Amino acid sequence: MQNLPTTSQTFEPSQPLRPTASSQLAWFAITTLGVFTVLCLIAKAGVILRFGFPIASFMTGVFLFRNFPSHYIGFSWWIWIITPFLARLIDYQTIWDPQRTMMVAPFLVSGIAGVTLFKNLLKFNTKENSGFLLVVGGLLYGALIGTASTSPMSVARALLDWMVPIAFGYHMMWNWKSYPQFSNVLSKTFLWGVLVTGSYGVFQFIVAPDWDCNWLIESGMGTSMGKPEPFGLRVWSTMHSAGVFAGFMMSGLLILLSSQSPLQLPANIVGYLGFLLSLVRSAWGGWVIALLIMTSSIKMQAQVRLVALVIAIVLVMIPLSSMEPFSSVVSGRLETITDLQNDTSFNARTSDLGSFFVSAISNPLGQGIGNVWIKQEDGTITQQVTDNGVVDLLFTLGWLGGFPYLAGLFTLSSIVMKSEGISRDSFMSAARGISISFAIQIIFANSLIGVAGMLMWGFLGTVLSGDLYYRHQNELMAYSQWQELLQEEAG
């Protein structure tokens, strides 16, 4: 792993993480997992796949983590993208799994990055490490409180939601010497991710496939996710909810603004259409916030290009979104933004917020990690959520754990906002806009955990990585100029 630079260290030329073998082996491992999955689906061996897919994904992830660092990053994100879809197919072929066994796969794969976190967090005294140390300290406190009041299994399950995104973000930051390779992989991953999930999202809205309708009925989310019929769904594509899909799509569409791929246009078309059909207003607002942050940090020439690109996208999307059956659905949701008092969705989310807030601030010790999971009469476990990240954080970690967590997040965000390389790297600028936007959105939803947490912490770590990388380049340039000056004086 790469040592983080400190003010007392001298930057030395070094090589980034590189594959230890031919990349063909990486694709062979990924393809093998894909073939295994497809064969099980064709044979309707859902029971085997339900348990075998998480295990096989974890083994593939370990292989890539150790030998193909860049492939591991892309593979992690694709597991997050496709696993909910595969789980729905298996449920449709067999029986409904209320425990959602398949959904452990993304946590297992991305959680491998925890090796980097726990090997290096205490080794170096840097601002970056200090920020992560505060956050992890807050979570460990919450886990300790949770263990004292609930089962270890509940704590472990909830801790995955909180810790895995942080570990993944730290892994991105720690391997800052591989920033160019990692940013390139992320650009391609989110380009194809937007194209695939956006296309399937539009198909889902028009057709309402049986497996998606089955999931909507069995999960009991019909009241918030629409009707299980064509043109009646809120699009969630391959994800497990419209909010998760919208968060991923918001991020991917912003990344596309820095892309030069010929697939940018079709990806934008299906991406923005799917994004609108998700009907997630907080994600729409988050996209605007991230775009403003992104635009303010780049050079004038890049700003002009970015504004022109956004205008072109708007001109293409207006006629598409004005066509039926898209128009009535999207326009109806847009109208609710100015009429929140009569919005049942908004009122439902805020009805219990006051009592949660009072409970959160009146208990400085917190409920502990794992206590938000409640066992129902039928044996299923459901999560008690508040749709407000700050309240959920204080409710879970209390003051003693929540304040260190927020202090660490603030420390890392302040580094990101002052980053030196933003103005010359459009991808890094987009990543900063995404991470800060999700940090702001915690007042609307808990964007600290799960997929939203992966997006916030993953891109926060990416910007920290880019910042360290460009600081390294600046030090090398200054060192080179100093050496040239010495040589001229000696000559």
- Token pair 């399937």 is found at 200
Contacts of 426 (CB under 8 A, 6+ apart): 257, 258, 298, 302, 306
- Mean pLDDT on 37-56: 93
Predicted TM-score (pTM) of the model is: 0.87
- Token pair 């999307």 is found at 317
pLDDT band at 353 (very low <50, low <70, confident <90, very high): low
What confidence tens digit (pLDDT) does each residue in 67-110 have?
999 999 999 999 999 999 999 999 999 888 888 889 999 999 99
Q: Is the pLDDT of residue 10 over 70?
A: no
Q: Is the pLDDT of residue 475 over 90?
A: no
Helix (H, G, I), strand (E, B) or coil at 224: helix
Q: How far apart are CA 460 and CA 412, in angstroms?
A: 8
**Residue 390, H or E segment:** helix 389-417
**Radius of gyration (C-alpha) of the chain in whole angstroms:** 23
Q: How far apart are CA 394 and CA 367, in angstroms?
A: 9
Q: Is the pLDDT of residue 205 over 80?
A: yes
What confidence tens digit (pLDDT) does each residue in 111-158 have?
999 999 999 988 878 899 999 999 999 999 999 988 887 778 888 888
- Mean pLDDT on 167-185: 94
Helices (H), 43-68: 46-67
What confidence tens digit (pLDDT) does each residue in 331-340 have?
666 666 555 5
What confidence tens digit (pLDDT) does each residue in 294-320 have?
888 777 777 777 778 788 777 777 776
Higher pLDDT, 254 or 8: 254
Helix (H, G, I), strand (E, B) or coil at 314: helix
Tokens linked to 206: 């028009």
Residue 120: Cβ within 10 Å count: 18
Nearest to 96 by CA among 204, 209, 211: 211
- Token pair 């997050």 is found at 80
- Mean pLDDT on 46-52: 91
69 backbone φψ class: left, alpha, beta (φ>0; ψ -120 to 50): alpha
